[in-house]
Structure 1
Amino acid sequence: MTASPKAPEILSFGEAMAMFVASTTGDLADIEHFSRGIAGADTNVAIGLSRLGFHVGWLSRVGNDSAGRYLRHKLEAEGLDCRYLTTDPEHPTGLLFKERAEGGADPYVEYMRKNSAASQLSSFDASNVDFSALRHLHATGIPPAVSASCRELSRQLIQQARKQGASVSFDPNLRPTLWASENEMRTTLNAMAAHANWVLPGLSEGHLLTGYDQPQDIAGFYLDQGAEAVVIKLGPEGSFYRGILTGTDESFIVEGIPVAEVVDTVGAGDGFAVGFVSAMLDGLGPREALMRANLVGAEQVQVIGDMEGLPSRERLQQLEAASRM
C-alpha cells in the first residue's frame, strides 16, 4: 500500500482568479487581445515560496469550469500541493481583467468575483488540514473581506496554526471596497494581526488600521497586541523593521533596491512577503530578511504579471550574491 504524500509544511489560502492582461495599452473596452495568467495575493506568496523549494499547500475553491481547471493545472505546475483545493459544482471561478499601464503606474483592474467558488469558503474547508505537519501559515486581509464564511475560516486557520506551534505571517492587503465599513475592516484585520507572529503592512495601510502616521508607532501598536515583528513596506525607499526577534526591542530601516524600470507594480508587496517569510524560515536575522524582501519585491516590479518575477532559489542566490558585491 502506497503511503500518502507528506502534508504541506507551509499553507496559504484565499481566492485565486484567472487573470486576463491587456496586450496593449488603452481602455479595456477597446482591447482585442489578452494574455491569461493567475491572480491573487495569497497565491502569489504561495507560488513564490514554492519556487524557493518549500512544500506549500493551497487551500481554496474553484468552479467546475475551464477557468477552475486552468488554475488547478497552473498551481500544480508551480509545485503547489493542491490537496486542499476543492471543486465547487455550483459556483464559478473568479475572473479579473487588467489594463496594460504605462510608466510604472498602477494598472486599472476589473473584478468578476461576486458569488465565486472561493467566496463560499468556510470553516468546513479546514476540516481535513493536517496542522501537525504545518510549520508556517501565511494569511492576508483579502479572504476575510470576501465573505463572512471566509472570515470565519481565516480566524480558524490562524488560531489552529498557532495552537499547533506554527508561525503565522499576516499581510493586511487592504481591499476597502469589499468591506461593509472601514470600521469593520479595521476591527477584523487588527484582531487577525493580534494572533500573527509577523505583521507586514504598507505604510498607508498601517496608518488606516492603527491611526498612527509613523512606522515606529504603527509597529508599536502591533507589538503591544502580541506580534514578534512588524515590517512596514515603504515602497522604493525600502522597509522598516521593529520587533523582538533578537530578544530586545529594536528598529531600523533597510534601503530599497534601485531598478532600471518599474514595469508593473502589482505583486510587489507579495514578492516582499515571499522574501521576508522565506528568510525567516531559512533562519536569517531580521536585517537580512528585510534585505531579501526588498530584493524580491524589486525583482517583481520589473516584469508584467502578478508573480512572473518571483525567483527560483538559484536566481535568488545569484541576486543576493550580486547585492553583496
Structure 2
Amino acid sequence: MTHQGTALDIITYGEAMAMFVAAETGPLAGVGQFRKRIAGADLNVAIGLARLGFKVGWMSRVGNDSFGQYVRDTLTREGIDQRCVSTDERYPTGFQLKSKTDDGSDPAVEYFRRGSAASHLSVADYSADYVLPARHLHLTGVAPAISASSRELAFHLAREMRAAGKTISFDPNLRPTLWPSRAAMVEGLNALAALADWVLPGIGEGEILTGYTRPEDIAGFYLERGARGVIVKLGAAGAYFRTADGAAAMIPGQPVANVVDTVGAGDGFAVGVISALLEGKPLAEAVARGNRIGALAIQVIGDSEGLPSRAELDALERAGPASVAQAA
C-alpha cells in the first residue's frame, strides 16, 4: 500500500464529525443559525501537523452522505492522506451542535454520533503496510471510547507500533459519557497510556485517571508504567513535564488577551509537542511550542481554525512569547 518513498511521518485514527457552531450566544434550543465546521480531536491534531509540513495519515470510516463527503473534502484540502478512510454504506457520519460563548467559558456541545460509521471501526480496518512504515502514532482517548471494537483497534495500533520500535503519543481527552462507566474509562485509558512514550493529560484528567492532584505525582504515575515523558497541561499556567531520566520543569503559559473558544486547545498543544519532538527538539522547547499553539487555538471559533502554518509558526517562534497574544 505504501512504499519507502511515501512513508508517512504520523498516523492517527478516530471519528470526524460535522460540527454546527451557533451564530449567536444563548441556549442551543433557541439558536436559529449555525455555521458548519469540522470536529474530531485526532483529526484536529492531524490537521495541525499537516499544516506544519508533516506527512500525516488519518484512519477512519465515514458514511455515504454529505457529512462524509465534507470530511473527505477537508482531508483533501489539508493534505492529509486518506487511503485508510473507508466509506460505510450502512451507517451515517456523526455530527454535533456547539453553543457560542462570549465570556471564555466552555461551550455546550451536543453529540449525534451513536451508531455512526466511525463507531464501527475495528481491527479489520488495520493495515500493517500502511501503518508500520510511519514514524509516529498519535492516539486520543476519544476513539477508544466510541465502541468496544474501536477500542480494540487503538490497542492493536499501539502494540504494533511499539513492537516496530516507533514512538507513540497519547492524549487522554476524556469523554465520560461515551464509556460504560467511569471505572472502565480509567482502566482502559491508563492501559493505553502504558503503551505510549509521551502522555499528555490535563491536570483535571490526570486527577480523574490517577487519583493524584499534583502534576508531579500524575507524571510519576505514568512514568512508573513505562512512559518516557509526561506533560501535564495546566491551562493558562502552562504545563509541567517530567521524564524517565529525571528531567522536570514548569513551562509558563502564553498570555492570551481574548479567549474565544476553549475547545481544541489541548489538540493544539499536542500538535506543538509532537511536531517539536519529531524535529528532535528538547522536551522543554516542545512544551513551549505546545503552549504557543494551544494559545492560538483558543483565540478563534472552531476546533482547528487557529492552528498555524509552518510559516506562521516560524514567525511566532522568532518573535517570542508576546506575539501569541496578538496573533489572532
> Normalization by structure 2: what TM-score?
0.95
- Offset at 1:47? 0.3
* 1:254 equivalent in alignment to 2:261: no
Q: Is the 8 A contact 2:92 2:116 kept in 1?
A: yes
Q: Is the 8 A contact 1:45 1:274 kept in 2?
A: yes
Where structure 2 has 5 or more consecutive residues not aligned to the other structure, the ranges are 323-328
Where structure 1 has 5 or more consecutive residues not aligned to the other structure, the ranges are none
For 1:306, which of 300, 303, 307 is the aligned residue?
Answer: 303
Q: Secondary structure at the match of 2:8?
A: coil
Q: Is the 8 A contact 2:145 2:178 kept in 1?
A: yes
Q: Is the 8 A contact 2:161 2:168 kept in 1?
A: yes
Q: Deviations over 1:176-204 (max 9, x none)?
A: 11111111111111010000000000001
1:268 is matched with 265
For 2:292, which of 295, 298, 303 is the aligned residue?
Answer: 295
Instruction: Tell me how far apart the structure 1 counterparts of residues 158 and 9 of structure 2 sit (CA, whole Å).
Output: 15
Q: Is the 8 A contact 1:131 1:164 kept in 2?
A: no
What's the RMSD between the two structures over aligned residues?
1.3
2:232 is matched with 232
1:279 is matched with 276
Instruction: Tell me how far apart the structure 2 counterparts of residues 324 and 93 of structure 1 sit (CA, whole Å).
Output: 39
Pair 1:128–1:160, CA change in 2 (3 A): closer
- Deviating beyond 3 angstroms after TM superposition, the runs of 4 or more aligned structure 1 residues are none
Q: Secondary structure at the match of 2:25?
A: coil
Pair 1:149–1:129, CA change in 2 (3 A): farther
Instruction: Tell me how far apart the structure 1 counterparts of residues 114 and 321 of structure 2 sit (CA, whole Å).
Output: 46
Pair 1:128–1:251, CA change in 2 (3 A): closer
2:135 is matched with 135
How do 1:101-140 and structure 2 match up within 5 A? 101-127=101-127, 129-140=129-140
How do 1:80-229 and structure 2 match up within 5 A? 80-127=80-127, 129-229=129-229
Instruction: Tell me how far apart the structure 2 counterparts of residues 118 and 147 of structure 1 sit (CA, whole Å).
Output: 9
Q: Secondary structure at the match of 2:300?
A: coil
Q: Secondary structure at the match of 1:168?
A: strand
What residue identity is the alignment partner of 1:20? Answer: F
Pair 1:111–1:234, CA change in 2 (3 A): same
> Normalization by structure 1: what TM-score?
0.96
Instruction: Tell me how far apart the structure 2 counterparts of residues 78 and 172 of structure 1 sit (CA, whole Å).
Output: 25
Q: Is the 8 A contact 1:261 1:302 kept in 2?
A: yes
Q: Deviations over 1:78-116 (max 9, x none)?
A: 010000000000000000011111211100011000000
* 1:50 equivalent in alignment to 2:47: no
Q: Is the 8 A contact 2:292 2:321 kept in 1?
A: no
What residue identity is the alignment partner of 1:6? Answer: T
Q: Secondary structure at the match of 1:170?
A: strand
Q: Is the 8 A contact 2:16 2:94 kept in 1?
A: yes
Q: Is the 8 A contact 1:84 1:129 kept in 2?
A: no
- Offset at 1:131? 3.2
Q: Deviations over 1:205-234 (max 9, x none)?
A: 111111111111110110010000000000
1:62 is matched with 62
Residue-pair matches, total: 320
2:326 is matched with none
Q: Is the 8 A contact 2:11 2:131 kept in 1?
A: no
Q: Deviations over 1:129-169 (max 9, x none)?
A: 42341100000111111100000000000111111121000
Instruction: Tell me how far apart the structure 1 counterparts of residues 129 and 171 of structure 2 sit (CA, whole Å).
Output: 22
Q: Is the 8 A contact 2:299 2:306 kept in 1?
A: yes
- Offset at 1:5? 7.3
